[in-house]
């Protein structure tokens, strides 16, 4: 709409909705902002609590995206799967960026509210466990902390027994004619994935000629992006913990930094890394 002089008329935003706003109905912002219940009087706890909750939301989003990518790979829709996986890379980057505002806590700052965590630990996050299972980091023993929450335990038990993101990628390659061994797809998915030199050869072939294997190389690269960003997440977690509490025992009873150092050494999607030595 324009006025008589030809200038556009700026419409005023609608202010009265006769109840809650459509934004509130869709986002539930008031619910989100009611979830920060500090257990100490220390103002630094608010940052720790909000960032932890943001990370939980990212874990849930990653699970959603990776399950979507699995559905697309099982339908042999490689373009859609790659698009979904690329979107998820940005989510992992957002997750990693969340560390920045709490990664430089001094021991004194962390100790100001640490005691209120009791035995609480990020290790007990059911959604983070689901993230690891989707990446192929499988361990039945890690279901134990969730036995008292039947819905979460059942969800994780199902995720433990299902193929990982990498399993589905290898299944797609096999259906596209690549010599992926039977043992890579016909196996006990509750067990951690074990590297196979024959799978390494498949990725070596794919990375040896981009012209012939362009689409499959796109899949390999976006999976490598995910693996790299997840490794960065683990390392940033290690550094933040080391900076805030040194080598003390973790709040959940783990070895703290020593436990995280072991996890940092683990690599997801292993043949995607080792195959590069032979190209």
pLDDT for position 103: 83
pLDDT digits (tens, 9 = 90+) for 96-119: 999 888 888 888 888 888 887 766
pLDDT for position 253: 55
Mean pLDDT by 10 residues, the chain (279 residues): 65 82 90 90 88 95 98 98 98 94 84 76 85 94 88 93 96 96 88 94 97 97 97 90 76 65 83 97
Does residue 214 have a known ligand-binding role?
no
Residue 221: give the domain boundaries: 44-114+122-242+254-278
pLDDT for position 266: 84
CATH number at residue 89: 1.20.58.480
pLDDT for position 76: 98
Q: Within a domain: residue 55?
A: yes
Q: Within a domain: residue 155?
A: yes
Does residue 28 have a known ligand-binding role?
no
Backbone angles phi, psi at 28, to 5 degrees: 55, 45
Q: Within a domain: residue 168?
A: yes
Domain count for the chain: 1
pLDDT for position 264: 72
Q: Within a domain: residue 21?
A: no
Q: Within a domain: residue 152?
A: yes
pLDDT for position 42: 85
Q: Within a domain: residue 247?
A: no
Contact 232, 89 (CB under 8 A): no
What's this model's pTM, rounded to 2 decimal places? 0.89
Residue 146: strand, helix, or coil: helix
pLDDT digits (tens, 9 = 90+) for 258-277: 767 777 778 899 999 999 99
Q: Within a domain: residue 157?
A: yes
Q: Within a domain: residue 31?
A: no
Total Cβ atoms within 10 A of residue 237: 18
Helix axes of 165-175 and 44-74: crossing angle, nearest 10 degrees: 20
Does residue 237 have a known ligand-binding role?
yes
Contact 84, 225 (CB under 8 A): no
Question: Which sign does the torsion angle of CA 164, 169, 175, 180 carry?
Answer: negative
């Amino acid at each position: 709409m324009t006025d008589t002089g030809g200038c556009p008329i700026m419409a005023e935003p609608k202010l009265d909705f006769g109840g809650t706003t459509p934004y509130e109905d869709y986002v539930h912002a008031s619910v989100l902002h009611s979830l920060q219940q500090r257990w100490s009087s220390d103002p630094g706890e608010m940052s720790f609590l909000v960032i932890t909750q943001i990370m939980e939301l990212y874990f849930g989003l990653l699970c959603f995206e990776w399950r979507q990518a699995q559905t697309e790979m099982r339908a042999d829709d490689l373009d859609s799967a790659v698009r979904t996986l690329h979107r998820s890379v940005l989510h992992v980057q957002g997750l990693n960026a969340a560390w920045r505002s709490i990664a430089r806590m001094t021991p004194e700052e962390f100790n100001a509210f640490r005691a209120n965590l009791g035995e609480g630990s990020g290790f007990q996050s059911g959604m983070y466990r689901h993230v690891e299972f989707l990446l192929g980091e499988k361990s039945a023993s890690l279901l134990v902390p969730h036995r008292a929450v039947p819905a979460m335990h059942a969800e994780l038990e199902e995720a433990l027994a299902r193929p990982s993101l990498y399993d589905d990628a290898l299944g797609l390659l096999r259906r596209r004619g690549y010599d992926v061994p039977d043992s890579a797809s016909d196996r006990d998915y509750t067990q951690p994935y074990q590297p196979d030199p024959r799978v390494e050869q498949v990725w070596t072939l794919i990375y040896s000629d981009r012209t012939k294997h362009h689409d499959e190389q796109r899949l390999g690269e976006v999976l490598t992006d995910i693996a790299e960003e997840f490794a960065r997440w683990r390392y940033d977690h290690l550094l933040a913990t080391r900076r805030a509490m040194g080598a003390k025992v973790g709040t959940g009873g783990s070895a703290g930094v020593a436990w995280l150092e072991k996890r940092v050494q683990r690599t997801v999607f292993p043949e995607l890394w080792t195959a590069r030595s032979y190209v």
